[in-house]
A and B are shown apart, each in its own frame.
Chain A
Amino acid sequence: MKKLYTEWEYRRYHRSKLSRVAKRSRKRKTRRKLKRVKAQRPQLSGEVKIKAPAHVSLLNNVEETIAFFEEIRRGVIGRHVVDIDFSSVRKITSDALLYLVALFDHFKMRGEYYRVKGNFPLSRRCKILLIESGFFRYVKTEVPIPSMGSDTLKISRAVRADGKFAKEILEFVQSKIPSFRPHEPYRHIVELMTNTRQHAFEKNGFYWYSVAIHNPDEHEVWLAFMDNGVGIHDALSRDWSERVMEAIPLVSLSPSKLLLSALEGHFRTRTEEGYRGKGLPRLYESVQANEFSDMVIISDRAYIDFRSNAQGHCKDLDFKFHGTLYSWIFREGNTT
């Protein structure tokens, strides 16, 4: 006997049926799409094993660390499975982890299909740092990650220049250094976010990254901020003599001296507008005024270190650093 429905019951049954049909259809489409994507993926040719240096740090071992990252980059671009051996790492700093996360994001943004795997360092301290820095929020691991202490503000990543992120970073600093005043550092952090947004990226949005670590023994907070864009070098304008020099083979401008001139306030913004390009000189003034300590800037092949020299010790790197890294320390005696 045919079941009779009321109009309301029929409509409800019909709606539910349509919804189930639509859901099945969506699932089928997703499966077909995944199958197509997998079929189109380039085949990876072989495995490359890369041994991490004992000291992985952009601030303290810049050449060897950048060379190590360059090996990873070449492995991915060469369509290999990259296997990183971290077991013999004795010291690792968060700036290097920041760069590694940025490197993986860069591959994703470029649409590179890659497989990178690795092991934990044998050093317990390094392993703790890997966990506390929030590194595993950006890479997969099968090892369960415990939540750990409050001395690290984990790696943050974003696209936009948002004051709320800067405030979060600086409130962390203020919680560890009560005398710290955030107004000037806030200005610099937002400027760095704005710079990366406006100058660093060619087409698609990339990210800026930050991490902060409190060192209770030294009563200081270390902060690193970086982006994986084109680097300051490409964002600066050159005067006519510099353009001539760049055009001559075997003659090259010193990247670090070019960057230092931008910090010192020589008109360098690529936009050529007089009211732009105030951020870097302002940052330089703050370094000179001891508003924060131990600043290091790495961009492209430029490395400028203010730790041993208040005017900035310049060094041109052998390998290119893809992006820009700013690192500095807040201490009790800083004059913010």
Chain B
Amino acid sequence: MTKEIDLANDFSETPGGRFRSDGPHSGEEFRDDVLVPILEEYGEAARIAIKIDGVYGFPTSFLEETFGGLARKFGTARVLQCIEILTVDNPLIRDEIMGYIKCPDGKK
């Protein structure tokens, strides 16, 4: 079963910085409070479809900490298997997110 998350409506249309200490709606908050519980609950069977349209903008640190951080925690292969990015308006952002998942240590 795929869990659908609308980033703008279920989390925030104005994502913030990297860490919780930076301010509200951080990448760390989205990853740890929204994505990680689903991955931990459903294990290998977890499937998350994240709709990213409707968001005002995508700070680099927010995306990297969310998706790169997820890959650092669970491994690239598992995250690629579990996460799907849904978008019509932001295909370049989807590519960017995939880049962070595939290179979680920042080295290409």
Contacts and interface: CB of A to CB of B under 8 A. Distances in A.
Given A160-B23, A186-B56, A197 B14 contact: no
A225 to B, nearest CB: 14
Given A274-B106, A274-B107, A276-B106, A187 B58 contact: yes
Given A161-B23, A183-B56, A190-B59, A198 B18 contact: yes
Interface in A265-286: 273-276, 278-279, 282
Contact of B14 (A164, A185, A274, A276): A164
Nearest to A276: B106
A86 B61 CA distance: 42
B13 to A, nearest CB: 8
Contact of A275 (B12, B16, B62, B68): B68
B105 interface: yes
Interface in B10-29: 12-19, 21-26
A278 B12 CA distance: 22
A279 B22 CA distance: 15
A290 interface: no
Contact of A279 (B57, B60, B104): B60
Interface residues of B, number: 31
B13, B17, B21, B26 — which one has the most chain A CB atoms within 10 A of its CB? B17
Interface string B22-54: 111110000000000000000000000000000
A184 B14 contact: no
Contacts of B17: 161, 190-191, 193-194, 197-198
A279 B61 contact: yes
B22 A160 contact: yes
A167 interface: yes
B23 A182 contact: no
A315 B105 CA distance: 34
Contacts of B59: 163, 186-187, 190-191, 194
A162 interface: yes
B60 A187 contact: yes
Given A194-B22, A278-B60, A163 B16 contact: yes
Size range of the chain A interface in the assembly = 20 to 34
B14, B60, B62, B106 — which one has the most chain A CB atoms within 10 A of its CB? B60
A231 B59 CA distance: 21
Contacts of A194: 16-18, 22-23, 59, 61
A182 B60 contact: no
Contacts of A162: 14, 16, 23-24
B104 to A, nearest CB: 6
A208 B103 CA distance: 31
B18, B57, B103 — which one has the most chain A CB atoms within 10 A of its CB? B57
A307 B81 CA distance: 46
A84 interface: no
A182 B24 contact: no
B57 A187 contact: yes
A283 to B, nearest CB: 10
A187 B15 CA distance: 9
Contacts of A282: 60
A56 B24 CA distance: 36
Given A162-B16, A166-B14, A190-B57, A275 B22 contact: no
15 contacts: A160-B22, A163-B16, A183-B58, A186-B14, A186-B58, A187-B58, A190-B17, A190-B57, A193-B22, A194-B18, A197-B21, A198-B17, A274-B106, A275-B64, A275-B103
Minimum-distance CB pairs A-B, first 9: A186-B57, A163-B14, A274-B106, A160-B23, A194-B17, A275-B106, A161-B17, A190-B59, A161-B23
Given A163-B16, A278-B60, 9 more contacts: A162-B24, A164-B14, A166-B57, A190-B57, A191-B60, A197-B22, A197-B23, A198-B17, A198-B22
